[in-house]
């Protein structure tokens, strides 16, 4: 941990008997205070939390340590690194990209600008999978596909929940798949989570009825909404993982069509949807006689977030 040896730095003249002036060194309290002020003036959302997370990252400590040691001094290198990150955060860079990590489903994942930052609301897709496949969690071999895996957070979380499942995670981004593969290895899931570079489910076109479940958090933001997004999202997260067409729902029709041929009878499809997309995506599922028992799960804000269906 980058802590200085003394609480104060002394400055004195060369002449004997010169007056010594004690200058307070930068400590945890002052560093946090200054960082919060800088980010507040830059209109950074949750500026206090960002200041804490960045200092925790630089000092490799937890929040409890920060507030238990407010007078702990920081060495010059720690101060330099910290305020370099604060400057980047004030300019709009997401905290998660600066620290290189984000928690999802109780697991820590590496994140880089090549992948979408995992959101808490996306955890609902794991909840829906557990609800649908719960009875098979420990006893049955399962085959699950995660379409548009990004950081691999959903795929790894599902592998964690279903210890006998084999997960196939697809993405069109080779850079994203590299991050996802590291995350699978980090959580000892590399042998059960397989990463494939392809569009949607194209790599499985010849495998009819082989999946117990297909899940996806696809890009669903309309290009018309780009200007209204937070700068952290609009200017820093990968557009290929965010945007999809004029309405934001264009990706669902081909995905639902492909999944209908790949999911076993009695298997499931679960999709994350954007705000206002429920009616359109539900109508797409209704167009396929293969899909029955359509259900909707709301997020904690009461917004429809996951739509699921059972293969007839």
Q: What pLDDT shows up at residue 134? A: 86
Tell me the three state secondary structure of residue 6. coil
Say yes or no to pLDDT of 196 above 60. yes
Q: Which CATH superfamily is domain 8-91 in?
A: Ubiquitin-associated (UBA) domain (1.10.8.10)
Give the count of alpha carbons within 13 A of 87, CB side only: 6
Q: Is 62 left (phi over 0), alpha (psi -120 to 50) or beta?
A: beta
**14 pLDDT more than 60:** no
For 101-311, give the CATH class: alpha beta
Q: How far apart are CA 241 and CA 186, in angstroms?
A: 23
Q: Which helix (H) or strand (E) holds 309?
A: strand 304-311
Average pLDDT value for the chain:
92
Quote the pLDDT of residue 267.
Answer: 96
The whole-angstrom distance between residue 205's C-alpha and the CA centroid of its chain comes to 29
d(CA 207, CA 43): 50
State which H helix or E strand residue 179 sits in: helix 174-186
Q: What is the pLDDT of residue 135?
A: 72
Q: Which of 234, 223, 213 is nearest to 147 (CA)?
A: 213
Compute the distance between CA of residue 243 and CA of residue 149 in angstroms, rounded to an integer: 15
Query: Which has the closest alpha carbon to 123: 164, 158, 150, 96?
Result: 158
Show me where the domains of the chain are located: 8-91, 101-311
Q: Is the pLDDT of residue 47 over 80?
A: yes
Instruction: Write out pLDDT tens, residues 17-35.
Output: 555 544 457 999 999 999 9
Helices and strands, counts by H and E, the chain: 12, 11
- The CB density around residue 95, as the number of other CB atoms within 10 Å, is 24
**Which sign does the torsion angle of CA 69, 73, 75, 79 carry?**
positive
pLDDT at 8: 41
């Amino acid at each position: 941990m980058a802590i200085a040896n003394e609480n104060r730095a002394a400055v004195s003249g060369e002449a004997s008997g010169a007056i010594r002036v004690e200058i307070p060194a930068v400590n945890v309290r002052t560093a946090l205070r200054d960082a919060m002020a800088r980010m507040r003036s830059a209109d950074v959302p949750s500026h206090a939390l960002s200041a804490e997370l960045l200092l925790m990252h630089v000092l490799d400590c937890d929040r409890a340590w920060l507030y238990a040691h407010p007078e702990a001094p920081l060495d010059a290198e720690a101060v330099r690194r910290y305020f370099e990150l604060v400057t980047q955060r004030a300019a709009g860079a997401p905290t998660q990209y600066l620290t290189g990590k984000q928690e999802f489903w109780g697991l820590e994942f590496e994140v880089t600008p090549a992948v979408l930052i995992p959101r808490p609301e996306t955890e609902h897709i794991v909840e829906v999978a557990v609800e649908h496949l719960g009875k098979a969690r420990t006893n049955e071999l399962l085959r699950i596909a995660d379409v548009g895996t990004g950081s691999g957070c959903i795929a790894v979380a599902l592998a964690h929940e279903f210890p006998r499942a084999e997960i196939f995670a697809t993405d069109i981004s080779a850079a994203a798949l590299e991050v996802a593969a590291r995350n699978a290895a980090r959580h000892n899931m590399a042998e059960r989570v397989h990463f494939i570079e392809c569009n949607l489910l194209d790599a499985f076109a010849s495998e009819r009825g082989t999946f117990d479940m297909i899940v996806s958090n696809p890009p669903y933001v309309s290009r018309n909404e780009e200007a209204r997004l937070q700068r952290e999202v609009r200017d820093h997260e990968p557009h290929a993982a965010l945007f999809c067409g004029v309405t934001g729902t264009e990706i669902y029709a081909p995905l639902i069509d492909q999944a209908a041929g790949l999911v076993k009878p009695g298997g499931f499809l679960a999709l994350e949807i954007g705000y206002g997309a429920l009616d359109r995506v539900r109508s797409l599922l209704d167009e396929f006689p293969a899909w029955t028992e359509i259900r909707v799960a709301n997020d904690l804000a009461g917004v429809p977030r996951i739509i699921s269906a059972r293969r007839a």
